[in-house]
Structure 1
């Protein structure tokens, strides 16, 4: 069988290692049911001319964690070609990034064209699963009758089947996963490091970079936090989490990578993706930390700020990597890191018993995902 995975992993740009994990987990799951499978991968936003022959030659095409976003024609510019190709398609662990502050979050930002394209895909898909309860709710709201909740395919890893969470009495090594929009989240990141250092003064604290993030690299250098650019090793970089006793950070796939290794993990929800995981897992181990637009300033205040910024640049140039303009347009609540610290402090007193039995959630996700991929393989594995 020839399978083609439509991947969200960008080899250039941000190089988000979490997207590579999704791709690899899906391919490994296929091979567990079809050991002789031929698996090719195409990037979601590639030129159609580049991928059309690969797709035409496929027996089955799988969207690995379909990114349900506004402007779907931009996110997946050749999706309409796929739907017209006649190649069988499936969707594994689709995920949303909803505008959760909006009362109409299941519709806000999506155009009629977006929803029509998604509906056509849902009707064409032989299997369609979602990775979170908010993503499933979106599909239910839109009437995608075939969509079924499974959990994130990235939890799949046979190395950890049967592992359980155990009481953690001493924290010696802590990993912080870096935030998206690092230039906006520098104050939150700094506060999180301060909180963790106060709670665990003897612990080593490192930052795992899941993608290109110059603003966070700069702040880590200034506050003495070692940086590990794990995105430079996309196939093995996430194994770094095996070295730590605790994860607290911003990346959903840092959260996933720690939890599936049965390491206590806490997530600061940056957006609808983080909110999806917070709503899906059965324990309170996430805290909202959403960025918001700064309120508009009075014209005189704007003029004063511009003058002050000019003087500051003349006296001490601001590093281009920090992105000061973007940081001024948005803010994120540093108090969220303090809130998270309170949660971690209480759990530390109790040996992190909050995580006792949480492996049941993970195995449930994995069983659902394996069943979905088995259905894909079984339906097309014989002539």
Structure 2
């Protein structure tokens, strides 16, 4: 039986309980099992020190790392790993990489420049694999800017549910069950309120659900780590989910807490439409062949929207052209961007009207623009993700 060490972005038994990170982890395991068969996993969180587990790790067939690229630096920072990388004697293989900065638009991609420590780590990882998988196209471009070209766009593991391979997109003639997912950043709360109001007006008879992908303790955890001179940001983060729940109630949305358990989002399979900010609410709908509209908060959403080519809107509007990109590393996660930095690209309130028009257009055609999404997902799996998984040691 093959045995892999899996480095996950999901912090087991910790504060965040981000169901999106958990979906990635569980999807990775299921797909590897599907392509390789008879697989065992030992899982660690990316911030855990692995020094005490080196002997066990070196007896596995390799280390598979869910691979967010963050210049904190990457090592030791985003990944704790071990004090001396040379002590790891098995292959280190990135699972699909993603990058994130704020706002994550074309200017971000043109100007982002990682530190020498992060560049060194990225090149060390890339030089030891035949291909470095990326979950969307923009990540490939960012890596190419840093001299890494052996990349392939495999998509994110969460795109894929083999039970849905070969099935067409659900194209509803009427929206009877609707899901809204809130933003991660408090900067988008007012915009999110307008989105909920618009959805309630467009679909007054629909069952409406506000799906909370993260536990509140995550917000409080990072709010407590904010610098004392950024009190306004700390307060905004702490109040964000409370305000979202209140607005959701005002507009007739049932609030569902889905953090920490992928089974809690399986009700998406029976819904007609998602509109919101959570990348993994968006891809959950698409993987289960349901239409979705994603409002991009930062590079993560921008990359998914470009790659799928349908249902995507930027939630921000770039205002300044001389942004200090390095200082915005990490995105609008509520603890990575200050209020002053946010002025580079404040939220775009006109996007609500744009989405309303888009949804009206899609209603008139039964979501015609989505009909190729299922084929895109299936083909990407067969031509990119599956070959990559079959190449694992």
Task: Tell me if TM exceeds 0.5.
Answer: yes
The aligned length equals 345
Displacement of 1:35: 2.4
Q: 1:259 to 1:219 in 2, by over 3 A?
A: same
Structure 1, residues 303-338: CA drift from partner, whole Å, max 9, x if none? xxxxxxxxxxxxxxxxxxx99x97798552232222
Quote the Cα distance in structure 1 between the aligned partners of 2:108 and 2:197: 37
Instruction: Please identify, of 338-347 and 326-335, the stretch whose mean Cα deviation from structure 2 is larger.
Output: 326-335
Aligned to 1:33: 35
Find the residue that maps to 2:109 and give its secondary structure. Answer: coil
Quote the Cα distance in structure 1 between the aligned partners of 2:211 and 2:341: 26
Where does structure 1 lack aligned partners over 5 or more consecutive residues? Answer: 295-321
Quote the Cα distance in structure 2 between the aligned partners of 1:84 and 1:145: 27
Judge conservation of contact 2:171–2:291 (CA < 8 Å) in 1: no
Quote the Cα distance in structure 1 between the aligned partners of 2:96 and 2:171: 31
Match status 1:369 vs 2:385: yes
* Structure possessing the higher radius of gyration over alpha carbons: 1
Q: 1:102 to 1:220 in 2, by over 3 A?
A: same
Quote the Cα distance in structure 2 between the aligned partners of 1:232 and 1:251: 15
TM-score (norm 1): 0.83
Instruction: Please identify, of 246-255 and 363-372, the stretch whose mean Cα deviation from structure 2 is larger.
Output: 363-372
Aligned to 1:112: 116
Quote the Cα distance in structure 2 between the aligned partners of 1:230 and 1:375: 34
Q: Which residue, out of 157, 161, 169, partners 1:157?
A: 161
Aligned to 1:134: 138
Displacement of 1:104: 5.6
Displacement of 1:171: 0.5
Quote the Cα distance in structure 2 between the aligned partners of 1:292 and 1:224: 33
Structure 1, residues 6-47: CA drift from partner, whole Å, max 9, x if none? 111123232211111111111111111332211111111112
Displacement of 1:278: 1.2
Instruction: Please identify, of 145-154 and 328-337, the stretch whose mean Cα deviation from structure 2 is larger.
Output: 328-337
Aligned to 2:279: 252
Aligned to 2:191: 188
Displacement of 1:291: 7.9
Alignment of 1:137-286 (within 5 A): 137-181=141-185, 183-213=186-216, 214-215=241-242, 216-233=244-261, 235-281=262-308, 283-286=309-312
Displacement of 1:175: 0.3
Aligned to 1:337: 352
Aligned to 2:91: 88
Match status 1:124 vs 2:128: yes
Displacement of 1:196: 1.0
Displacement of 1:51: 4.3
Find the residue that maps to 1:226 and give its secondary structure. Answer: strand
Where does structure 2 lack aligned partners over 5 or more consecutive residues? Answer: 217-240, 321-333
